[in-house]
């Protein structure tokens, strides 16, 4: 007797006898449906896979393209190849441990993931006004340095995909300087978990301010190279101008944000429209363009790096001595980190102090680290302006020491909706340019 769902199952694979034995043709899945639909059409259209392993798809992104000659008639995205279950894993760790997970989502913008998550937790705790000024300034500085490093990867990989190898070398060369700063400040080049609910894991190490100032000075000179190599290059302009077109109406219909939206002429930036971490106290401009194409998005990102350097300088000038963690000892992570032979961890002197002060202090430390603090029941949404657009986090608490639910609105996921609008009707070669101008990171898409 067949089951009720037997009609939905794929038919058994037919066997065909050959001189080398039976050959089976296995079918099923979305690819089979696409091919069957193409076979039923009258014209000579071809369905091809671009990815998920392809040097021009910015990670494991699968593009299903239907082409007529060299013209793309239909473009669809296939995602999920990098799924890590981060959002679900957050439900099994305490609130502070969550930063270790979220920093790994969009792995090119770890500080933005951490800040968005911590802002949501702090909103649930009701301690937004208690975050020390120094912690907020350092958060802004790290985010703007991270914005520069993310845009440098965009320029480097986008240049590589167009054959501009010098742009790739230049972009990754400059990104190394930013990662060196991250390593100096947090002990890690990526996946930092440095921003914590209530503040930061630790203060800036000695010499960090001078190193950041030296970087700003050097980076200002280096940014001129991108105009020489790409912005004014007739070959680069010929490959990017009028390619990947998406106007303001299209962005609004699809929920597109970030440089793609600002390339339509709309100066929408959450740092201005809905400030957080004290961004209302910084002076910077929101670059826009009216080209609605890949070239305009490149110009915007280069100018955004200039503006980030302005903000970083202001952060250095605003740094004042003070704590970097909220004063409430029931929330503040009790850490005094030091770099030892086994890596970054609590300093030996700090451990001796905790264990030698009193039994109550030791018990409190043990409970806060192993069990975590409790967050009042409720839900909150916090959004920040990441290098790719609006990065939002919806956090839900049931009153326990772990999140009940955490969901991220990652801009790479939303912006990938524009692939069809940008690519259909264009050439196959222009698909590479359009996807590069979106600058998606699949770690943020799949989560």
Q: Using one digit for the tens of pLDDT, what is the confidence trace for 196-253? A: 998 888 888 888 899 999 999 999 999 888 888 888 888 888 888 888 888 898 889 8
Tell me which residue of 407, 404, 442 sits closest to 87, measured CA to CA. Answer: 407
Distance CA 418, CA 106 (A): 19
pLDDT over threshold 90, residue 112: yes
* Predicted pLDDT of residue 30: 66
* Predicted pLDDT of residue 128: 86
Mean pLDDT of 367-372: 80
pLDDT over threshold 80, residue 279: yes
Mean pLDDT of 332-337: 66
Q: Residue 444 carries which DSSP code? A: H
* Predicted pLDDT of residue 4: 45
* Predicted pLDDT of residue 118: 92
Q: Please state, for a pLDDT cut of 70, what percent of the chain lies above it.
A: 88
pLDDT over threshold 60, residue 12: no
Name the class of domain 86-331+373-446: mainly alpha
Listed range (156-165, 197-206, 333-342) with the worst mean pLDDT: 333-342
Strands 15-18, 405-409: parallel, antiparallel or unpaired by DSSP?
unpaired
pLDDT over threshold 50, residue 8: no
* Predicted pLDDT of residue 1: 44
**CB-based contact 10:31 (threshold 8 Å):** no
Distance CA 125, CA 87 (A): 20
Tally of CA atoms within 13 A in the half-sphere of 444 that contains its CB: 30
* Predicted pLDDT of residue 235: 87
Distance CA 406, CA 283 (A): 33
Mean pLDDT of 326-345: 69
């Amino acid at each position: 007797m067949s089951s009720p769902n037997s009609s939905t199952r794929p038919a058994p694979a037919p066997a065909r006898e050959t001189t080398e034995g039976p050959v089976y043709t296995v079918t099923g899945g979305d690819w089979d449906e696409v091919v069957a639909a193409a076979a039923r059409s009258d014209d000579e259209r071809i369905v091809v896979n671009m990815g998920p392993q392809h040097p021009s798809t910015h990670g494991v992104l699968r593009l299903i393209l239907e082409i007529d000659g060299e013209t793309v008639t239909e473009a669809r995205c296939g995602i999920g190849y990098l799924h890590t279950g981060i959002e679900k894993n957050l439900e099994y760790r305490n609130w502070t441990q969550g930063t270790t997970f979220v920093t790994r989502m969009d792995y090119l913008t770890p500080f933005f993931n951490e800040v968005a998550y911590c802002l949501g937790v702090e909103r649930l705790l009701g301690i937004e006004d208690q975050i020390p000024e120094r912690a907020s300034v350092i958060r802004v500085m790290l985010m703007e340095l991270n914005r520069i490093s993310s845009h440098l990867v965009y320029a480097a990989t986008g240049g590589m995909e167009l054959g501009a190898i010098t742009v790739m070398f230049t972009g990754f060369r400059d990104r190394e300087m930013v990662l060196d700063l991250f390593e100096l400040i947090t002990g890690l080049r990526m996946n930092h978990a440095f921003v914590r609910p209530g503040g930061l894991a630790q203060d800036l190490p000695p010499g960090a301010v001078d190193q950041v100032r030296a970087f700003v000075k050097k980076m200002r000179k280096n940014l001129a190279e991108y105009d020489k190599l790409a912005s004014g290059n007739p070959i680069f302009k010929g490959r990017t101008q009028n390619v990947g077109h998406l106007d303001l109406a299209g962005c609004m219909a699809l929920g597109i944000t970030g440089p793609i939206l600002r390339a339509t002429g709309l100066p929408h930036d959450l740092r201005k429209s809905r400030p957080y971490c004290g961004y209302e106290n910084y002076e910077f401009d929101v670059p826009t363009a009216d080209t609605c194409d890949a070239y305009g998005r490149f110009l915007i990102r280069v100018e955004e790096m200039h503006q980030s350097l302005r903000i970083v300088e202001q952060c250095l000038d605003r740094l004042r001595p003070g704590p970097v963690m909220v004063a409430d000892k029931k929330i503040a992570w009790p850490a005094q980190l030091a770099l030892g032979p086994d890596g970054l961890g609590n300093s030996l002197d700090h451990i001796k102090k905790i264990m030698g002060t009193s039994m109550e202090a030791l018990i409190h430390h043990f409970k806060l680290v192993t069990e975590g603090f409790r967050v009042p029941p409720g839900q909150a949404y916090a959004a920040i302006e990441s290098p790719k657009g609006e990065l939002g986090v919806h956090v839900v608490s049931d009153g326990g020491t772990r999140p009940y639910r955490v969901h991220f609105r990652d801009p790479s996921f939303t912006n990938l909706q524009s692939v069809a609008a940008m690519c259909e009707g264009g050439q196959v070669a222009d698909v590479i340019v359009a996807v590069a101008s979106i600058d998606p990171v699949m770690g943020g898409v799949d989560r």
